[in-house]
Amino acid sequence: MTSRLALPLATALLTAGLTAGLAAGLSAAPATSAAPAPAAPPTAAGKVTVTHGCLRSAPETKGGAPVKICYSVFKPARATAKRRVPMLMHSHGWGGSRTKDPAALAAFTRAGYGVISFDQRGWGESGGKAHVESPAYEGKDVRALVRLVSRLRWVRQDGRGDPRLGAIGGSYGGGYQLLGAFESLRLRGKPVFDALAPEITWHDLSQSLAPEGVTRTEWALGLSAAALPSQALPERVYQALVEGAATGQWPDGSLPGGQDLVSFFERNGPKWHADHGRRLDIPVLLGQGTTDTLFPLQQGLANWQRGLTKRARKQSIFVGYNGGHVLPNLLPAGIDVTSDPCSRRLAGGDFRALSIRFFDARLKGRKTGLRGWGRIHLATPSSTCTTVRSVAPTRRYAVGTVATTVGPAGAPVAVPVVKGPVRIAGSPYLTGKVTALGLENRAFYGLAVGTSPATARLVQNNVLPLREVSPVTGVARRVTLPSVAVNVPAGQTLYLLATAVSDTFVTMGSRTPGVVIIDDTVVSLPVVGR
């Protein structure tokens, strides 16, 4: 199947609004340098001097021509060789391009930071293809940009080739940050970045796009669709994404003539580094969307738990806000709320205001009065903020037998777990004995709140799949539930929601008809203060 066949499907999804979510998104990084291409003459914008240019980075093929990576440098008014300032690296989401307008970054330049914004490989004015934050391509691009920054006389330097450097950006623009830091750690023994502020990004791309091997159809097609206008992706990735959406199986090379995204994405995220024992020992301000259905909350929590050293977490902050990559949730019904109560509580403003105070503390060494270090701060659907040290479950609730109806027309089933008032914040799961008599039977599970089963709505829009490839009877299973934060008020109940179908996983239900039954079901919940 080629990208030409993908186009009608992708276009339909784009008109449904997928690109808006994706553009907030994914980011790539820069490579080995040849000589930089000539930079455009600097222009003064207000009191910020803006310089546009391109450098040469790793070729797409062995022996091929170097790929240009284009950037814009924003020099604050007071920055001089005698009064050097820290630098922040910035990049865009999937399908986007770099920032050229100094007004868009004025909050950072006014705070005394230089900024370099760049077009990731395959996007904007940069050349090449988007390899989705590959160490072999985007990893080299980031290193080339760091070398460029290390030669700017007005940027503070901690040593030769070591600028005082932070990073900002969301989704794909968060991916390059973690890639650059981990690659520097792998190659040099320490991350060249001194502090990071990645938002709504991933830990494991394959688990993000296809948890348990079940494709998040909307996002797999949307990712491909957003790249089609500029042909930013390698051809085989287009083919693989459409293959996954069409077959209901994440491409792992097992189908004759099929693609292998598992191998393609294996090194493109913090999971690969964490699996090899690498942890970042630098401060990180992690922002993650609690209602994000592409890179859900547990992806950010995995970066916090597995990507940072214990010492780094003590100097870091995790913030979950209502937002991220969000699409309408109609089946099962979710919520529609956008808010960031935790950044407001910590810094008196939004995540950008919080990030400036974070960088002031970690890059400039200032006493900012910022609190919340070493903690996880999670927004609830009612726009309150719950702070915890651990997201591990603390209580277990036996709920008996949970059975789905038969899809695709079957309605979600809501099973009572605990009555309010109760506060939940963290990463729940369920255990039980599964019976599913078909081939490739699937069901989706999440937590919901309501006054009755009929009014129960998903807490923060997410469900996760249980997949049984072959028939099973009474087999013990542990099923991960979406990480959440919610205050269940008196008069309402927290439910376990089981459904045969899901908007996010549209067409990804059971491949053969049949109910999925879990007997002796126990739900383990991270209950706070009770």
186-214 pLDDT tens trace = 999 999 999 999 999 999 999 999 999 99
> Please, how many CA atoms are within 13 Å of residue 506, restricted to the half-sphere of its CB?
16
In a domain, 296, yes or no: yes
What pLDDT is attached to residue 327? 83
Q: Is residue 476 predicted with pLDDT exceeding 50?
A: yes
| Phi, psi of 276, deg, nearest 5 | -100, 15
CATH number at residue 357: 3.40.50.1820
User: What band does 21 get if pLDDT is binned at 50, 70 and 90?
Assistant: very low
Element at 457 (helix H, strand E): strand 457-458
> Is there a contact between 499 and 412 (Cβ–Cβ < 8 Å)?
yes
What pLDDT is attached to residue 41? 57
User: What band does 148 get if pLDDT is binned at 50, 70 and 90?
Assistant: very high
Distance of CA 23 to the CA centre of its chain: 12
| Phi, psi of 271, deg, nearest 5 | -55, -45
For 486-513, write each residue's pLDDT tens digit: 999 999 999 999 999 998 998 899 988 8
What pLDDT is attached to residue 241? 84
- Pair 177, 227 in one domain: no
The whole-number average pLDDT for the span 336-352 is 96
- Pair 515, 432 in one domain: yes
Number of compact structural domains in the chain: 3
- Pair 412, 326 in one domain: no
- What's the CA gap between 502 and 505, in Å, rounded? 5
User: What band does 145 get if pLDDT is binned at 50, 70 and 90?
Assistant: very high
| Burial state string for 320-337 with b = 16 or more CB within 10 A and e = fewer than 16 | bbbbbbbbebeebbbbeb
Residue written as token pair 């091929």: 64
For 437-465, write each residue's pLDDT tens digit: 999 999 999 999 999 999 999 999 999 99
In a domain, 501, yes or no: yes
CATH number at residue 454: 2.60.120
What pLDDT is attached to residue 16? 37
- What's the CA gap between 325 and 225, in Å, rounded? 15
Q: Is residue 29 predicted with pLDDT exceeding 80?
A: no
What pLDDT is attached to residue 142? 98
Helix (H, G, I), strand (E, B) or coil at 427: coil
* % of the chain exceeding 90 in pLDDT: 79
- Pair 13, 44 in one domain: no
Q: Domain limits at 253?
A: 3-22+207-264
- Pair 48, 118 in one domain: yes
Other Cβ atoms within 10 Å of 402 Cβ, number: 23
Q: Is residue 384 predicted with pLDDT exceeding 60?
A: yes
Q: Which residue has the higher pLDDT, 40 or 91?
A: 91
What pLDDT is attached to residue 107? 97
In this predicted structure, which of 42-51, 296-305, 435-444 has the lowest mean pLDDT?
Answer: 42-51
**Measuring CA to CA, how many Å separate 48 from each of 5, 42, 52?**
47, 10, 13
Report the predicted TM-score, pTM, of the whole model to 2 decimal places. Answer: 0.91
Listed in sequence order, the residues at least 6 apart from 418 whose beta carbon sits closer than 8 Å to its beta carbon are 397, 488, 493, 494, 525
For 76-126, write each residue's pLDDT tens digit: 999 999 999 999 999 999 999 999 999 999 999 999 999 999 999 999 999
Q: Which of 264, 282, 299 is the last residue of a domain?
A: 264
Q: Is residue 243 predicted with pLDDT exceeding 90?
A: no
Closest by CA position to 442, among listed 516, 520, 332: 516
In a domain, 198, yes or no: yes
- Pair 191, 83 in one domain: yes
| Burial state string for 222-258 with b = 16 or more CB within 10 A and e = fewer than 16 | bbbbbbbeeebbbeebbbbbbbbbbbbbbbbeeeeeb
What pLDDT is attached to residue 513? 86
Q: Is residue 6 predicted with pLDDT exceeding 70?
A: no
- Pair 233, 320 in one domain: no
The whole-number average pLDDT for the span 174-189 is 97
In a domain, 95, yes or no: yes
What pLDDT is attached to residue 4? 26
Element at 488 (helix H, strand E): strand 484-488
User: What band does 409 get if pLDDT is binned at 50, 70 and 90?
Assistant: low
> Is there a contact between 430 and 481 (Cβ–Cβ < 8 Å)?
yes
In a domain, 407, yes or no: yes
Element at 100 (helix H, strand E): none
Name the residue type at position 80.
T
* Alpha helices (H) in 30-152, listed in sequence order: 106-110, 138-150
> Is there a contact between 327 and 503 (Cβ–Cβ < 8 Å)?
yes
Burial class (CB within 10 angstroms; exposed 0-12, middle 13-18, buried 19+) of 28:
buried
Q: Which residue has the higher pLDDT, 258 or 321?
A: 321
- Pair 39, 119 in one domain: yes
- Pair 30, 131 in one domain: yes
- What's the CA gap between 324 and 290, in Å, rounded? 8
* % of the chain exceeding 70 in pLDDT: 91
Q: Which of 231, 249, 264 is the last residue of a domain?
A: 264
The whole-number average pLDDT for the span 27-46 is 44
In a domain, 237, yes or no: yes
- Pair 198, 226 in one domain: no
- Pair 331, 198 in one domain: yes
In a domain, 98, yes or no: yes
- What's the CA gap between 388 and 283, in Å, rounded? 18
- Pair 383, 459 in one domain: no
The whole-number average pLDDT for the span 396-421 is 91
What pLDDT is attached to residue 45? 55
Helix (H, G, I), strand (E, B) or coil at 9: helix
User: What band does 242 get if pLDDT is binned at 50, 70 and 90?
Assistant: confident
Residue written as token pair 């049949």: 514
Q: Which of 338, 364, 388 is the last residue of a domain?
A: 388
What pLDDT is attached to residue 50? 97
Burial class (CB within 10 angstroms; exposed 0-12, middle 13-18, buried 19+) of 287:
buried
Other Cβ atoms within 10 Å of 373 Cβ, number: 14
* CA pseudo-torsion sign 480, 482, 483, 484: negative
Q: Which residue has the higher pLDDT, 265 or 222?
A: 265
Average pLDDT along the chain? 90
In a domain, 530, yes or no: no
What pLDDT is attached to residue 1? 27
Bridge partners of 468, per DSSP, are 441
**Measuring CA to CA, how many Å separate 145 from each of 40, 66, 149, 298, 442?**
16, 14, 6, 31, 45
| Phi, psi of 507, deg, nearest 5 | 70, 5
